[in-house]
Structure 1
Amino acid sequence: MQLIEVNKARYNRHVKIVFAACAIGLAIGSLSLSQLLIALFPDESGRHFHWNLLGVVVTAITVVWLLNKFRQHEFMREVTYVWELKQALNKIHRKMRALETAANEGNINALVAMQYSYAGSRLLWQLDDNTLTLDELAIKQAELDRLAEKFNVTLKANDYDESMLKPF
C-alpha cells in the first residue's frame, strides 16, 4: 500500500459523516427492528432481551455490509484509505520488536518496514491533529536514519510491501 497525501479537510468531513450515519443507522435500525419483532412476537413475561439483541445484531451486520459495499465509492475514498493504512500499520506494529532487532543487524526489509511505519504514522497523526506524539516519532525516525546511514541504505517508505513482514 502506497502512502499518498490525503486532503485533511475532506477526510475529517467525510469520516464525521460516515461515523454519524453509522451511529444513527444503528440506533434507528436496531430500535425499529426490535420494536417490530416485539410487536409480532410478544412475550407474556415482558422480557424482550432476545428481540432487542437480535435487532442490534442484524442492524450491525447490515451497517458493516453497507460500509463494505460502498467502500470503493468516491465519497469513501479517504475514509477507506485511512482505514486500510491503519490496518497495514497495525500489522507492522505487531512485529515491531522483531523488526527493531533485525534493523539493528542491518536487515533492509526491516528498515524499510520501519520507515513505512513511521511515515504512515506521521501521516495519520497529522490527519488526527495528534501532534503530541510527533516528537517521539521524530526521535525514532532519527534513530532509523542513523541505522540506514550506518548500513549505507536509502530508505523510501513506498518501497514497502506487506510480504516483507513474513520472515518476522
Structure 2
Amino acid sequence: MQLVDIDKNTYRSHLNVVIVSAVAVFSALGVGISAALVYWFGAAQGQNFYLNLLGVCVGGAIAAWCLHRLKRTRYFYEVAYVWDLKQELNLINRKLTVLKKAVELQDPDAMLVMLYNLQGSKQLWQLDDNILNLQELELELIQLEHKIRGCGLTLDANQYQRTLLEKF
C-alpha cells in the first residue's frame, strides 16, 4: 500500500457522514427487523430476546455489507484509504519488537518497513489531530532516516510491500 496525501477537511467531513449514516442505518435496520420478527414470530409472553438479537445481528450485517460495497466509491476514497492504512500499520505493529531489533542490526528491509510505519503513523496522527505524541514520532523518524543514510541506503516509504513483513 502506497502512502497518499489526502485532504484533511475532506477526510473529516466524509468520515463524519459515513459514521452518522452507518449508525442510522444500523439502528433503523436493527430495530425494524427486530420489530418485524417479534410481530411475526414473537411469543405473547414477551420472551423475544433471541428474535431481537437476530434482528440486530441482521441489521448489523446489512449495514456492514453496505459499507463494504460502498468502500471503493469515489466518495469513500479518503475514509477507505485511512481504514486500509490503519490495517496495514496494525500488521506492522504486531511485529514491531522484531522489527526494531532488525533495524538495530541494520537490516534494509526492516528499515524500510519502519520508515513506512513511522511516516504512515505521522500521516494518521495529523489527520486525526493526535498531536500529543507527534514530536516523539518525528524524533524517531529523524533518527531512523539518519541511520538509513549512515548505512548508505536510499529508501522511500512507497517501496514498502506487505510481503516484506513475512521475513519477520
How big is the shift at 1:139? 2.1
Q: Which amino acid aligns with 2:160?
A: Y
1:104–1:147 contact (8 Å) kept in structure 2: no
Q: Distance in 1 between matches of 2:142 and 2:11?
A: 29
Other-structure match for 1:61: 61
2:42–2:51 contact (8 Å) kept in structure 1: no
Secondary structure of the 1:75 match is: coil
Other-structure match for 1:46: 46
Other-structure match for 1:76: 76
Other-structure match for 1:21: 21
What are the within-5 Å matches in structure 2 for residues 127-166 of structure 1?
A: 127-166=127-166
How big is the shift at 1:143? 2.3
Q: Distance in 1 between matches of 2:153 and 2:3?
A: 20
Other-structure match for 2:32: 32
Q: Distance in 1 between matches of 2:152 and 2:31?
A: 61
2:102–2:110 contact (8 Å) kept in structure 1: yes
Q: Which amino acid aligns with 1:119?
A: Q
How big is the shift at 1:137? 0.2
Q: Distance in 1 between matches of 2:50 and 2:26?
A: 17
Q: Distance in 1 between matches of 2:126 and 2:109?
A: 26
Other-structure match for 1:87: 87
How big is the shift at 1:152? 1.6
How big is the shift at 1:149? 2.7
The CA RMSD measured in Å over matched residues stands at 1.0
What is the percent sequence identity of the aligned residues? 35
Secondary structure of the 1:24 match is: helix
What are the within-5 Å matches in structure 2 for residues 118-133 of structure 1?
A: 118-133=118-133
**Residues 42-99 of structure 1: per-residue CA shift (max 9 Å, x gap):** 2133111111100110011111111111111111111111110111111111111111
Q: Distance in 2 between matches of 1:126 and 1:142?
A: 17
Corresponding residue pairs, total: 168
Q: Structure 2-normalised TM-score?
A: 0.96
**Residues 100-143 of structure 1: per-residue CA shift (max 9 Å, x gap):** 10111111000000000010011111100111110110121122
1:112–1:160 contact (8 Å) kept in structure 2: yes
2:116–2:160 contact (8 Å) kept in structure 1: yes
How big is the shift at 1:163? 0.7
Q: Which segment is superposed worse, 144-153 or 45-54?
A: 144-153
